[in-house]
Chains A and B, each alone.
Chain A
Amino acid sequence: SQQGEEDPQALSIQEGENATMNCSYKTSINNLQWYRQNSGRGLVHLILIRSNEREKHSGRLRVTLDTSKKSSSLLITASRAADTASYFCATVLAQNFVFGPGTRLSVLP
């Protein structure tokens, strides 16, 4: 069963716009992580947010965590064509590292 589920499944925006992706999970967590995967490549870790944190920033990335709603969001501000990729949230569930199905982001020039 999936622990993390992202929405939307696909998102298409213009360069310069902001992109928001959401992730929901089912059980209590220690931390939640976001990863990016460019086409044909491995996943790259973007940001980790701990269960006692509500918001975290890294460059143009902003992640929020709402443990009461069991949800997280990833905001990419001022998007660039190079941000085109799939984005996954991931958490630990029953000794497994579980990834959501991902959001495919397309940033159009």
Chain B
Amino acid sequence: DTAVSQTPKYLVTQMGNDKSIKCEQNLGHDTMYWYKQDSKKFLKIMFSYNNKELIINETVPNRFSPKSPDKAHLNLHINSLELGDSAVYFCASSPTGLAGDLNIQYFGAGTRLSVL
């Protein structure tokens, strides 16, 4: 069983559309994250959720919104997609929050988003 799974794996869409990426973890972890990896492989944290509370909101546009229906899921909604949103988006989870000693990140396989 995949520990952190995200869907879809590939997403191709037109500028201006709204799209969602789903993420689920079956590890029983307390904290989940979304990262963006650009074409130069630079990985940047976007959000994290701990027990349904947003605890980090890096300076991302408010077109991006995380939604967590329960501890095992953290979905990413993107409104009015722009060309610059093209990237690979990774979901991750960790047993504790970032301040904890068990902040090891477990990553999903990524969603490659292409905005045309």
Task: Give residues in A with beta carbon < 8 Å to B.
Answer: 30-31, 33, 35, 37, 40-45, 48, 50, 86, 88, 90, 92, 95-99, 101-102, 104
Contact = CB atoms under 8 A, between A and B. Distances in A.
B104 A102 contact: no
Interface of B: 4, 33, 40-45, 48, 55-56, 58, 90, 92, 98-99, 101, 103-110
B101 A96 contact: no
User: Which 9 pairs of residues, A with B, have the shortest CB-CB distance?
Assistant: A42-B107, A99-B43, A43-B107, A42-B109, A92-B98, A45-B104, A97-B45, A96-B45, A42-B110
Per DSSP, chain A at the interface is strand
Given A99-B43, A102-B41, A45 B106 contact: yes
B58 A96 contact: yes
Contacts of A50: 101
Contacts of A101: 40-42
Contact of B103 (A88, A97, A104): A97
Residue in A37, A92, A97, A104 whose Cβ sees the most chain B Cβ within 10 Å: A97
10 contacts: A30-B101, A35-B105, A42-B92, A43-B43, A50-B101, A95-B55, A97-B33, A99-B42, A99-B44, A101-B42
A44 B40 CA distance: 18
Nearest to A92: B98
B42 to A, nearest CB: 6
A86 B105 CA distance: 16
Contacts of A41: 109-110
Given A44-B107, A48-B104, A99-B43, 14 more contacts: A30-B101, A41-B109, A42-B4, A42-B108, A45-B106, A86-B41, A95-B56, A95-B99, A96-B45, A96-B58, A97-B103, A97-B105, A101-B41, A102-B41
A92 B41 contact: no
Contact of A33 (B43, B104, B108): B104
A99 to B, nearest CB: 4
Contact of B45 (A31, A48, A98, A104): A98
